[in-house]
Chain A
Amino acid sequence: MRHRLLKKAGRVGDYLAAAAIMLFALFPVYWVLTTALKPNGEIFTRDPTLFPRELTLEHYKRVLSGVLIPETSFWSFLTNSLLVTLGSVAIAAVFSLLAAVAVARFRFRLRTAFIVLLLVIQMVPIEALIISIFVNFHHLGTATSLPLTGSLLGVLVVYTTVALPITILMMRSFVAAVPRELEEAAAIDGATRWTVFWRILMPLVAPGLVATSIFAFITAWNEFVVAFTFLQSNTTSFTLPISLKYYFGRVTVEWGSIMAASTLLTIPVMVFFLFVQRRMVSGLTMGAVKG
């Protein structure tokens, strides 16, 4: 009897703890959403209301119509973000698939050295390298007259490269999971390397390629430091994350608009996150280390 009562109390305790955790995790998200929908009168007040009394789309309108940053608009930030993100993801996907095939299917002399390089290099924080990457790109840009600093090109190149160690290591495990016998059988039937690659390997690693790409997408989409360093000189090249910083730097902070912009930045990540959440855990704990 006593035992059952204790058990019941334990369960109630669990439920309460679960409720507390959910409140802790969700409250800031809720606060972003509601602030974005409150009229300014309710935002700039000394006793904030937990539930908005009045809802308005004013802030979303201001953000989307580009009232806050003159000469540009949310849409140009969105385009910039999509350009660097999708561009770097596409290149990283191709490059890492190639490298993953090399590492998973071939034995070659520099193979171990290459993998060790990937493991070590992803430990080095980009925050430590940012000065020398900037200087390096400045010199490279001068030598080649490519706009590597102050333009989206440089950011795209950095995002691609930073993604590579993790995407190669993730892709490697997907390629290695494809039974070699399948490829051997096809080769015996007279298929060329290319046919084996396109017809046998590609369809089987495609889901892995998608998961890896989404992973790289989220990282690049959210990236701040590199974009902040390379792009801050001109507003037309801003990506979404640094445009948020710009709203923020104004004399009077437009909290409602920042929260609206923040929601718009977050939506794609949330959607993608649903797809890769589980792989995210295994990918991160697999030895692929960069967040």
Chain B
Amino acid sequence: MTRTLDRPGAEVPTPAGQDPPQRRRRRDRTALIPYFLILPALSLLAVVLLWPIVQMVWMSLTDYGLRQLRGEPAEWNNFAHYVSILTDDRFWTIFRNTIVVCLLMVAITMVLGTLVGILMNRLPTWLSTTVGIALMLAWATPVISAAIVHRWLFDARYGLVNATLARLPDWLVGSGWESFNWFNSPGPLFSVLILTVVWQSFPFVAVSVLAGLKSIPGELYEAARVDGAGAWRSFWNVTFPMLRPLFALLLILQIIWDFRIFTQLNILAGGFTNRDVFLLPYYSYQLGFYSTPPNYGLGSAIAVVMTVLVLAITAYYLRVMIRQGETR
């Protein structure tokens, strides 16, 4: 391993043609070692993720259905899927809902997580640790369990939420909660969905912000206080600028994660029958696996739209990471 060259000039260059043939062969083999080392990982990535990306684009441009799954050749269809998506009101409704729901999840998660991080930083250690453990339990709950317990809390007949709302005075919460169904229409369902997702994702933001806050020197806050800055100003003038890279990263991560929501929606919506409450990943999935006949082509077209959106959102972040030397 010492022969590998991280530092330029670490190896004395041998004049060409003077290498004994045996040594040269050995060095050639050495040059291949890293390729052998990445080969297993690279071949899996190529077969399982890279090729499907190519295939997804191809399928989105053809009438890919059950016949093609059985081996019949797929035929180019002149962007028919894209045309039908772009002219379909349902697609645009789902598209808009996806953006709105995702933005709400991200915004609430970021604000709540940051506030909790700041709070934890002010608390005495024992209490901050206790809060940390509580957060960890929410964070570590499997997504499917989180979805199911929220489905149960909001159950129409036996759910705790409806029972509580029904017991509260009508002037406060209105009436008619006894059998209110949260899972039929977009508004209530998306509210529960946002709650479920935020519940699980704010702990990560809180813990990350807490770690970030601990790295800011206290003198900066002292200086701000001397200058007469209150909590609000010292957040915007000290904390935020110091943690800007962290916030940017957390924001990107939350957008990516919340954009892909599937499991929670599957549990809350209880299947694929109610198209009013679909989000993009869910719509794509339904077209591929739950429509008769399966429409892999159209499902793929929506998947392509999703992928392009995600990559567009992350492009900036990727560029920063690559420039900052993640690749070095």
Contacts and interface: CB of A to CB of B under 8 A. Distances in A.
B145 A131 contact: no
Contact of A131 (B45, B134, B303): B303
A25 B119 contact: no
Given A114-B38, A258-B148, A127 B284 contact: yes
A106 B4 contact: yes
Given A17-B119, A21-B119, A135-B296, A284 B253 contact: yes
Majority secondary structure of chain B interface residues (helix, strand, loop or mixed) = helix
A265 B158 contact: no
A108 B45 contact: no
Given A136-B51, A245-B144, A225 B158 contact: no
Nearest to A131: B288
Nearest to A287: B326
B52 A129 contact: yes
Interface in A78-117: 94-96, 98-99, 101-103, 105-108, 110-112, 114-117
A168 B178 CA distance: 52
A221 B142 contact: yes
A18 B131 contact: yes
Interface in A120-167: 120-121, 123-136, 138-140, 142, 157-158, 160-162, 164-165
B289 A229 contact: yes
Contacts of A188: 2
Given A119-B321, A128-B281, A266 B145 contact: yes
Nearest to B253: A289
A164 B45 contact: yes
A48 B158 contact: yes
A266 B303 contact: no
Tell which of A29, A125, A133 has the most Cβ of chain B within 10 Å. Answer: A125
A102 B41 CA distance: 11
B234 to A, nearest CB: 14
Contacts of B321: 119, 287
Contact of A117 (B35, B45, B263): B45
B42 to A, nearest CB: 7
Contacts, number: 300
A195 to B, nearest CB: 11
B69 A135 contact: yes
Contacts of B38: 98-99, 102-103, 110, 114
A42 to B, nearest CB: 10
B158 A44 contact: yes
A124 B256 CA distance: 9
A117 B45 CA distance: 10
Nearest to B139: A273
Interface residues of A, number: 105
Contact of A127 (B141, B145, B262): B262
B40 A127 contact: no
A136 B149 contact: no
A95 B40 contact: yes
B70 to A, nearest CB: 9
Contacts of A48: 158-160, 163
A222 interface: yes
B50 A121 contact: yes
A75 interface: no
A173 to B, nearest CB: 10
A154 B311 CA distance: 26
A120 B318 contact: yes
Contacts of A47: 163, 167
Nearest to A187: B2
A259 interface: yes
Interface string B271-315: 000000000010011001100000010011001101100110010
B131 A21 contact: yes
Contact of B141 (A96, A111, A114, A266): A266
Nearest to A123: B314
Interface stretch (B78-86, B100-108, B200-208, B218-226): B200-208
21 contacts: A17-B119, A25-B138, A28-B141, A32-B145, A46-B163, A98-B38, A99-B38, A106-B33, A108-B31, A116-B327, A125-B281, A125-B306, A128-B284, A131-B296, A132-B296, A161-B48, A184-B2, A225-B263, A259-B149, A262-B148, A289-B253
Q: Top 8 closest A-B pairs, CB basis?
A: A102-B37, A106-B34, A132-B52, A161-B48, A127-B281, A102-B34, A131-B288, A273-B140
Given A21-B119, A28-B153, A131-B284, 5 more contacts: A102-B33, A129-B307, A133-B48, A224-B262, A265-B145
Interface of A: 14-15, 17-18, 21-22, 24-26, 28-29, 31-32, 35, 43-48, 94-96, 98-99, 101-103, 105-108, 110-112, 114-117, 119-121, 123-136, 138-140, 142, 157-158, 160-162, 164-165, 168, 180, 183-184, 187-188, 193, 196-197, 218, 221-222, 224-225, 228-229, 241, 244-245, 248, 255, 258-259, 262, 265-266, 269-270, 273-274, 277, 281-282, 284-285, 287, 289, 291
